Amino acid sequence: MRVFICGFGTVGQGFAEVLARRMDFLEERYGCPILVTGAMDSKTYVLDRNGLDPLDLVATKQRTGRVGEDEYSDSTKVLDQAAYDILVEVSPTDIKTGGAGLRNITHALENRKDVITVNKGPLALKFNELITLARRNKCKFRFEGSVGGAMPIINLCRENLRGEKIESIRGIFNGTCNFILSKMDKGQPFDQVLKEAQQMGYAETDPTNDIEGYDSACKVAILANSVFGRNVTFDDVKITGITGITEEAIALAASRNMVIRLIGEVSETKLEVGPRLVPRGHPLSISGTLNTAQIISDLAGPITVSGRGAGRTETASAILSDLISIMDERTE
């Protein structure tokens, strides 16, 4: 099985490391090695039909800032040159246009390649087009890590809860906002906590996508399409961010034993992201950078999952689970 890693930042490197750690397990399970036959970052690429050492790729990237020596201007031309069966698309997300990620995924599916991605932009903007293309070309297309990082949610709903009618999903889908709001619970003002989150690497230099709720809205759109079979995009989500939350509001909520959390809500009729009052002790009142989701289904009732919503190894673990699912399907 040949894998091409498109995007060699934190998640791409994390996946290469996880793949190296699980190489023996995978070879034993499937009786053949997993070959990384190509990798690409924002400027350079490297190809080898015989397979590249994933840890060497990480070392090269960390030493030189580049994954390969050859530069490219059109990523799809690199994909055309590569010999691969599965594209792992983990390039930086673009929630306005879908960016290079959308082009790469589309190109791979058009060429009948299986795709695994955690790239939210293409999924939040063109989900149904991509799923339709994958079905038409009989490709496997998986994206567990795009919502909640290591927290299982999409495959949990689509596979483990098969047979259930899922009525709603509510959750905390952005660790940065949850970090900020839970620090505000202790009396710190918004601006101060945001700076702290940036210093600790939880928030980007430009935190707009997180604090305005856009990142959560992408995830809500992905869940609506993948779990509820709706046909929506990021633009359909009713969004309110957390920039309007004041210390006084937090204190007033606390006086009623409640906290404020940024909650994404999806159902057949709802598609929202906004700050919500959550009673202390409720599964959605968790503190820190964790993600959590409460699934309400007709037979099983409420099911709550939580886990690390981001991180190098954590997100890579979701990609690995998708890889194993594809390999299992291929070997059936």
CB of 246 to other proteins, least distance (A): 5
List residues with catalytic annotation. 219
CB of 313 to other proteins, least distance (A): 31
Q: How many CB atoms lie within 10 A of CB 69?
A: 10
CB of 252 to other proteins, least distance (A): 5
**Sheet containing 141-142, strands listed edge to edge, beginning at the edge strand earlier in sequence:** 70-71, 44-52, 35-40, 2-6, 86-89, 114-117, 141-142
Question: Does 258 sit near other proteins (CB under 8 A)?
Answer: yes
User: What does the DSSP assignment read for 79-134?
Assistant: HHH---SEEEE-PPP-TTT-HHHHHHHHHHHHTT-EEEE--HHHHHHHHHHHHHHH
- As a dihedral over the C-alpha atoms of residue 246, residue 306, residue 235, residue 231, rounded to 10 degrees, the angle is -150
Strand partners, 295: 169, 303
Q: How many CB atoms lie within 10 A of CB 25?
A: 11
Give the one residue of 128, 208, 231, 246 binding other proteins; rule: CB under 8 A: 246
Compose the 226-245 pattern: x for residues touching other proteins by CB under 8 A, - for all others.
--------------x---xx
CA 38/CA 1 separation, integer angstroms? 12
CB of 286 to other proteins, least distance (A): 13
Please give the residues from 122 up to 181 whose contact with other proteins meets the rule CB under 8 A: 170
Residue type, 307: G
The tally of CA atoms less than 13 A away on the side-chain side of residue 77 is 6
Question: Does 263 sit near other proteins (CB under 8 A)?
Answer: yes
The residue among 10, 101, 80 whose CA lies nearest residue 38 is 80
| Beta carbon nearer to other proteins, 39 or 194 | 194
| Beta carbon nearer to other proteins, 201 or 244 | 244
CA 4/CA 300 separation, integer angstroms? 39
Question: Does 249 sit near other proteins (CB under 8 A)?
Answer: yes
Question: Does 87 sit near other proteins (CB under 8 A)?
Answer: no
CB of 254 to other proteins, least distance (A): 11
User: What does the DSSP assignment read for 228-270?
Assistant: T-----GGGSEE--STT--HHHHHHHHHTTEEEEEEEEEESS-
Question: Does 184 sit near other proteins (CB under 8 A)?
Answer: no
Question: Does 266 sit near other proteins (CB under 8 A)?
Answer: no
| Beta carbon nearer to other proteins, 229 or 279 | 279
Please give the residues from 281 up to 310 whose contact with other proteins meets the rule CB under 8 A: 282, 284
Question: Does 257 sit near other proteins (CB under 8 A)?
Answer: no
Give the one residue of 7, 145, 264, 275 binding other proteins; rule: CB under 8 A: 275
Bridge-based pairing state of the strands 86-89 and 114-117: parallel
| Beta carbon nearer to other proteins, 23 or 239 | 239
Question: Does 260 sit near other proteins (CB under 8 A)?
Answer: yes
End-to-end CA gap in the chain: 15
- Specify the stretch interacting with other proteins by CB under 8 A; choose among 97-105, 117-125, 146-154, 258-266: 258-266
CB of 193 to other proteins, least distance (A): 15
Give the one residue of 27, 80, 110, 247 binding other proteins; rule: CB under 8 A: 247
Interhelix angle for 99-110 vs 120-136, to 10°? Answer: 10
Footprint of other proteins on this chain (CB under 8 A)? 170, 240, 244-249, 251-253, 255-256, 258, 260, 263, 274-279, 282, 284
